[in-house]
Amino acid sequence: MAIDPKLLEELRERQATARKAGGEDKLAKRREKGMMGARERLETFFQPGTFQEFGMHAEHTCTRFGMDKKKLPYDGVVCGTGLVDGRPVAAYAQDFTVSGGSLGRIHAKKICDLMDFAHESGMPVVGVSDSGGARIQEGVDSLSGYGQVFFKNVLLSGVVPQIAVIAGPTAGGAAYSPALTDFLIMTRDNSNMFICGPDVIKAATGETAQLEQFASAAAHASISGNIHLVADDDKHAMELTAKLLSFLPSNNIGDPPHVLTDLDLSDDPVMNELVPGSPKEPLDVMAVIDRLVDDGDFFEIMPDFARSLVVGFGRIEGVVVGIVANNPMVKAGTLDIDSSDKGARFIRTCNIYNIPIVTLVDVPGFMPGLAQEQGGIIRHGAKMLFAYAAATVPKITMIMRKAYGGAYLAMCSADLGADMVFAWPTAEIAVMGAEGAVRVLFRKDLKEAEDPKAKAAEIAEQYRNEFASPYQAAANAMITDVIEPSKTRASIALALRNTLSKRDTRPPKKHGNIPL
């Protein structure tokens, strides 16, 4: 006996109603702004036909303030799982066309249930934020819902990758769930993220501030450092999310998606040409990275923030790596408060997800200055030391040129646990630069010299050759080998293959106490 056609008709009608979200008129207005609907975002993200929805027929339970007469399809959030490049991923998208995407009790429960499923199944979680915030009609139930989502964010942290996409308004408490994830991607237009808006800021402090100054993607990417990537639009945001996932394992137990092939250990003569003839001329580290990673495919993270340090993902002979590199083109490659935070966070993320770390060093030291000292450069710089020392993944360091003082240590020296440390012949490893050391050590000689400037240059050259040479570090077994720049890719590729089976057992403890 066949199923009653009326039952099928009812089901299809309910499904059609849900797919209309808050109405065709609202969806049309969003498309005019260049925005997608919640379902469209997920359909763009997942492979066709692989999306399985969780809770399409869920309904809110609020009866106050006339809510008993309102129908909110799927309570304003689309949840489910699907395949991305053949791998399962859990995702939810808040729907602004349904009650402004406001979060209520059932809305929060759907998100939490999906996160529990992802936790148990060992798959990444992607959340698309597009919400007016807490559903005021539900009062404390809404606040409780936020708390439950935050708790799940923390529970899943370090277990499965979590990526937040800011594709609309994300205000007040709603901003904290994205802030608790591993990566934040924000659309350039039609989105904002803040705790207090312009009116609240004006009332509380008397300051006049526009949203563009503190809540936009540009502000978060370059000033506050709250987000990792800026997308041109919704489609681009979902493409960036998929690209990011292509470098990450599904969970902390699995290996990253390496694509191991036969090793090509041939020299790259072009790398020799990238080294400037003068130590005072800045090295273009992006050109080095481009030669180092497979097909020049480097996925930079936080490219607009703390630009004296470059971080991002790539593959070297098929091995997924996280790259941390000083950028001498900006602030001479010094480590400051922001770049230390940026580096430490990225290092810890790589360590969570079993991603080997390749460190490219050309650092003259920590950034000097009153603002840096008063801002806590000691505490922030210590984060780099802590992150590298605590990391148990393979750590390969390449000292290209300057490696001075505490910053030399903070860029993963052998003493901080680097498994292999290579150096170019141009490397200078010392407590400080030759010129500075000469001024301290030979002050009297310089005063008595007929030509102090020429004398200083002469002594600096002697100091550089005797005390800052990579061969002194090599003689003391502080580096693995001194190599030609042309052998950089081959040396690192071989080192990565030899350390993929690394095991590093640490003392049992809950966790270390990083200097936050």
229, 185 contact by CB (below 8 A): yes
Q: Which single residue is written with the structure tokens 């800021």?
A: 201
Please state, in angstroms and rounded to a whole number, the distance separating the CA atoms of residues 130 and 117: 22
Please state, in angstroms and rounded to a whole number, the distance separating the CA atoms of residues 33 and 45: 20
CB atoms < 10 A from the CB of 454, how many?
10
Instruction: Name, in order, each residue with C-beta under 8 angstroms of 183's C-beta and a sequence gap of 6 or more.
Output: 161, 162, 163, 164, 228, 229, 244, 301
Q: 479 vs 160, 366, 398, 487, CA distance in Å?
A: 35, 22, 9, 16
Q: Provide the annotated active-site residues.
A: 172-173, 406-407
* Interior angle at CA 198, CA 193 and CA 228, nearest 5: 20
Helix axis angle, 434-441 to 452-467, nearest 10°: 110
103, 146 contact by CB (below 8 A): yes
178, 129 contact by CB (below 8 A): yes
Rounded to the nearest angstrom, the gap between the alpha carbon of residue 17 and the centroid of all alpha carbons in its chain is: 38
